[in-house]
């Protein structure tokens, strides 16, 4: 029996998630430090004035160093909030982050308050993912929030953060809705994808 795209994605998602969840808290913290350092030192990050980023859940690559660096270097920091079936990014001030002033959504994820301001355009959109291939495609949790958000084109570059173990050599089965990222940062460096 041949699996359809969703079936293949589901198997890959489980396989990579199992590997990622096998990392210890120490490994998650230390490898995440290297990944964040690679991004923070990149021209893409340095030259960006606004950063859209996620707050990690489970074994996702940590983002606190990127968030702190963005806030300290006076970049506009935006975090996502799910509104009905869409992802919207809201500005998070230093005090919001340090005082943990967030709402919690139905997935148990912290979100910025809806009363926070927003921007029409984000320089650097940092997206989470479970698996990434060598062509710039990714598998997320299957809700499609980021792919849907990325269709609006209201950002300059999309960046993925992943552990090396999340990279897969074979192409991810994709649909017309799947969007490519521009660069993937891991502990061993970065990979820039062709944009066509």
Q: Name the residue range of residue 145's domain.
A: 5-192
pLDDT at 60: 97
φ/ψ of residue 39, rounded to 5: -70, -50
pLDDT value, residue 5: 76
Q: What is the pLDDT of residue 6?
A: 79
pLDDT at res. 143: 85
Which residues are CB-contacts of 100 (< 8 A; sequence separation ≥ 6)? 110
Q: Is 1 strand, coil or helix?
A: coil
Q: Give residue 106's pLDDT.
A: 82
Q: Which residues of the chain have pLDDT under 70?
A: 1-3, 195-196
Task: Determine the pLDDT at residue 142.
Answer: 84
CATH, residue 138: 3.40.50.10420
Q: What is the pLDDT of residue 193?
A: 93
DSSP 177: T
pLDDT at res. 138:
95
DSSP assignments along 101-164, one per residue? --EE-TTS-EE--TTS---S-EEEEEE--SEEETTS-EE-SSS-HHHHHHTT--EEEEEEE--G
Number of domains composing the chain: 1
Supply the pLDDT for residue 66. Answer: 98
């Amino acid at each position: 029996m041949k699996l359809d795209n969703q079936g293949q994605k589901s198997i890959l998602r489980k396989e990579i998630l199992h590997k990622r969840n096998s990392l210890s808290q120490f490994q998650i913290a230390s490898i995440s430090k290297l990944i964040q350092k690679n991004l923070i030192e990149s021209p893409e990050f340095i030259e960006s004035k606004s950063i859209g980023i996620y707050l990690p859940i489970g074994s996702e690559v940590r983002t606190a160093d990127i968030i702190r660096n963005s806030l300290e270097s006076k970049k506009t920091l935006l975090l996502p909030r799910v509104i009905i079936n869409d992802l919207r990014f809201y500005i998070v001030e230093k005090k919001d982050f340090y005082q943990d002033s967030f709402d919690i959504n139905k997935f148990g994820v912290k979100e910025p308050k809806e009363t926070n301001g927003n921007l029409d355009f984000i320089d650097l959109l940092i997206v989470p993912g479970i698996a990434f291939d060598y062509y710039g495609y990714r598998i997320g949790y299957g809700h499609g929030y980021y792919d849907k958000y990325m269709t609006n084109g209201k950002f300059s570059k999309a960046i993925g953060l992943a552990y090396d173990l999340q990279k897969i050599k074979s192409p991810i089965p994709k649909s017309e809705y799947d969007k490519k990222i521009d660069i993937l940062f891991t502990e061993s460096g970065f990979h820039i994808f062709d944009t066509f």
